[in-house]
């Protein structure tokens, strides 16, 4: 079992990452709180040592995604998210200037949102994302490309800057 100091360090270091992952998966604040407790309790109880800080962060991301998936899979959570829900979620947490883009991101299928976040925000490459999500690298490339196309379609190409909709990390194969 990890010490109190290690828990404190993990909360300081990874709270924002966990919160962002919750944001792209969930829309309920109470659920976010549940995920926080699950992730950090698992961290404290996790017996193995992490080889590097990157390894530790990847573990936190993986555990958070799994916890979100488990929550969404549960019987009582099986409900579709309406466009109004998305707008509310964005308007309450994100400044207005980013709302169009973030609503478009939230409208993406769950697995596409995940790879977009990991690639564009956390800066992971497709092979790294494949390792974290236990997916084939080509599958990750495909998901990234489809997510970009969907975003392009949703934003109508009128958005300033096209990096996220472009293909600067396309499948080398």
**Binding site residues, other proteins, CB under 8 A:** 1, 4, 7-8, 11, 15-16, 18-20, 23, 32-33, 36-37, 40-41, 44-45, 93-95, 97-98, 101-102, 105, 116-117, 120-121, 155, 159-165
CB 80, CB 60: distance < 8 Å: no
Q: How far is the CB of 169 from other proteins (least distance, A)?
A: 11
Give me the least distance between CB of 44 and other proteins, in Å please. Answer: 6
The length of the chain in residues reads 173
CB closer to other proteins, 121 vs 127: 121
Closer residue to other proteins (CB): 40 or 141: 40
User: If we measure between CA atoms, which residue out of 93, 90, 111 comes closest to residue 102?
Assistant: 90
Burial 63-76 (b: 16+ CB within 10 A, else e): bbbebbeebeeeee
Query: Is 105:116 a contact under the CB 8 Å cutoff?
Result: yes
Q: What angle do CA 113, 116, 89 make, to 5 degrees?
A: 45
Name the minimum Å distance from CB 69 to other proteins. 19
Minimum CB separation of residue 164 from other proteins in Å reads 4
């Amino acid at each position: 079992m990890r010490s109190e100091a290690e828990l404190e360090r993990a909360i300081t270091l990874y709270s924002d990452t966990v919160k962002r992952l919750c944001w792209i998966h969930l829309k309920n604040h109470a659920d976010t709180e549940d995920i926080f407790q699950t992730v950090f309790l698992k961290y404290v109880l996790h017996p193995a040592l992490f080889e590097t800080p990157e390894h530790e962060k990847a573990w936190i991301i993986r555990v958070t995604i799994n916890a979100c998936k488990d929550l969404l899979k549960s019987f009582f959570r099986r409900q579709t998210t309406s466009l109004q829900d998305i707008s509310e979620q964005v308007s309450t947490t994100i400044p207005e200037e980013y709302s169009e883009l973030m609503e478009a991101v939230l409208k993406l299928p769950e697995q596409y949102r995940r790879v977009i976040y990991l690639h564009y925000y956390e800066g992971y490459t497709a092979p790294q994302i494949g390792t974290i999500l236990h997916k084939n690298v080509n599958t990750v490339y495909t998901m990234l490309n489809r997510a970009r196309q969907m975003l392009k379609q949703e934003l109508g190409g009128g958005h300033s800057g096209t990096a996220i909709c472009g293909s600067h990390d396309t499948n080398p194969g």
